[in-house]
Amino acid sequence: MRQKECPSCGIEIDKNYNLCPICKYEFPVKSKFNIKIIAVILIILFAYPLIKLFINLINK
Binding site for Zn ion (CB under 5 A): 6, 8-9, 20, 22-23, 25
Q: CA torsion sign, 7 to 11 to 14 to 17?
A: negative
The nearer residue to Zn ion, 9 or 39, going by C-beta atoms, is: 9
**Contact (Cβ atoms closer than 8 angstroms) between residue 15 and residue 2:** yes
DSSP 8-state code for residue 4: E
The nearer residue to Zn ion, 10 or 54, going by C-beta atoms, is: 10
Q: How near is the Cβ of 5 to Zn ion at its closest, in Å?
A: 9
Q: How near is the Cβ of 57 to Zn ion at its closest, in Å?
A: 58
